[in-house]
Amino acid sequence: MFSSTVEVLQNIIDGAIDGENRAEGESAYEGLTSFEFVFILHLEKETMEITDKLCQALQSQSQDILNAMHLVSSTKALIQKFRDDGWDGLLTTVISFCEKHRIDVLDMNARYVGRRGRARNQPDNVTNEHHYRVNIFYATIDSQLQELNYRFNEDAMELLRLSSALEPREALKSFRISDLCLLVKNFYPQDFTDYDKQVLEKELYHFEHNVVQDPEFKKLKSLSELSQWLVRTGNSEHYKLVYRMVILVLTLPVSTATTERAFSAMKLVKTELRNKMEDDFLNDSLMLYIEKDIASTFSLDSIVDDFEDLKERRVPFS
């Protein structure tokens, strides 16, 4: 891919008719074949490979809290290990790549000079190694760690840990009733009344005895499957407090996919011609667009029938 891109730029430079196109091509070629570009390219590749599993888990439509919690911990550990031990390996890879593609390799002990020449405020004692190791390598990794620590702080990790007690796989190992009571107390105090909190523990004991021990329960693999199974078997009515917890945990902001799709859809739905669209109509339109796979399963006749069944409707049918 790199060689092909370089070849295309060379063809653009050689075939340029006017000086402006040639200058743009030469500038892009100079940047692409610089040691700094190659170094940053490989640094991004290494960090993205470390965070890829976590990104995929967070963007998945189906919530897997237990897996996400483990991936957060392992991703932090791997990034820290890369910061502590990854410099020599990364530099060796970059130098090997440069030699393969005939790109000038910098002397790490020489004084650093930027691509556009020495900046006025650039210290004379900054070496290439200091610039690439401290200003780029450490700075990039530290920003990744800071972002992970910000998004998954102690409170967030505690929320994930307590919520994982509802995961079928965890429940089969050990149904942590105390953790679930603590989950409601610390994170959902407004969603349960004082009376609900009093009877919750007893309901959880019944749930453990009658539901967790059910052979069908052992076949469940995720929290979303559990919620569907509870509704299908009627247990959502028998254990309303537990089901309420399941629904609340399913709305955890662990997945970013829905948010990303919503912003992308908003640009398509709320155009300049529709800029006066009210919030309710916008929300309904976005829901249909984002969940179009589900919406496509509804027939027009079923929609008309549901509308006719409404007691109050704006447009009377003739």
Are 177 and 208 in contact by the 8 Å Cβ rule? The answer is yes
CB count in 10 Å sphere of residue 221:
12
Query: What is the distance between the alpha carbons of residues 310 and 222, in angstroms, rounded to a whole number?
Result: 35
Q: Is the pTM of this model over 0.75?
A: no
Residue 287 covered by a domain: yes
Q: Could you tell me if 186 and 274 lie in one domain?
A: no
Tell me the Ramachandran region of residue 169: left when phi exceeds 0, alpha when psi lies from -120 to 50, beta otherwise: alpha
Exposure of 181 in the CB half-sphere (CA atoms within 13 A): 16
Same domain? For 167 and 148 the reply is no
Q: How many domains does the chain have?
A: 3
pLDDT score recorded for residue 267: 65
pLDDT at 20: 66
Q: What is the pLDDT of residue 64?
A: 63
**Residues in the chain, total:** 318
From residue 197, alpha-carbon distances to 70, 245, 299 in Å are 29, 12, 43
In this structure, the answer to whether residues 104 and 123 fall within a common structural domain is yes
Q: Which residue range(s) make up the domain with 202?
A: 163-250
Last-in-domain residue among 111, 127, 152? 152
User: What residues are paired with 127 via a beta bridge?
Assistant: 111
Claim to verify: residue 63 and residue 101 sit in the same structural domain: yes
Same domain, 239 and 284: no
> Is the domain of 193 the same as that of 228?
yes
Q: Which of 250, 285, 300 is the last residue of a domain?
A: 250
Question: Are 127 and 63 within one domain?
Answer: yes
The answer as to whether 25 is a domain residue is no
Q: Which residues of the chain have pLDDT under 50?
A: 254-257
What is residue 314's three-state secondary structure? coil
pLDDT of 213 reads: 86
